[in-house]
Amino acid sequence: MKKTRQQYDLDYKLRIVAEYLSGTISAEGLARGERIETIVTSEGVSIEQARKIRGLEEELDATQKKLAQTVLENELLKKLQPTSPFARKSSGYIETKQLLVRARGRAK
């Protein structure tokens, strides 16, 4: 008689992986506690490689956010220079901000 494979839902799998990645318990301990015969790696990626990939993805995300912020600041700086060809393309926010700064300077 052929033994059927146990199928686990996604939430259960995510909880197990999160417990392991937190480092509080080993794979063997998880397998014993959850009555799983073996914890196998998926798609040829070991747990350590998965951790490294996760770290690299987080680093990539942070770098992309930093790059987007830098590009945005660069565009604003271009618009702030009066001799810049980009100054004419301003939406009016920069001019309004400059006028407010000048008005505050006179009020002091």
Successive 10-residue mean pLDDT values, the chain, 108 residues: 72 80 75 63 67 90 94 85 64 74 70
* DSSP assignment of 2-53: PPPPP---HHHHHHHHHHHHHTSS-HHHHHHHTT-S----STT--HHHHHHH
The one-letter amino acid code at 55 reads G
Q: Specify the DSSP class assigned to residue 92.
A: S
What is residue 97's predicted lDDT score, i.e. its pLDDT? Answer: 76
Q: What is the pLDDT of residue 37?
A: 60
Report how far residue 89's alpha carbon sits from residue 81's, in angstroms, rounded to the nearest whole number: 12
The pLDDT of residue 99: 81
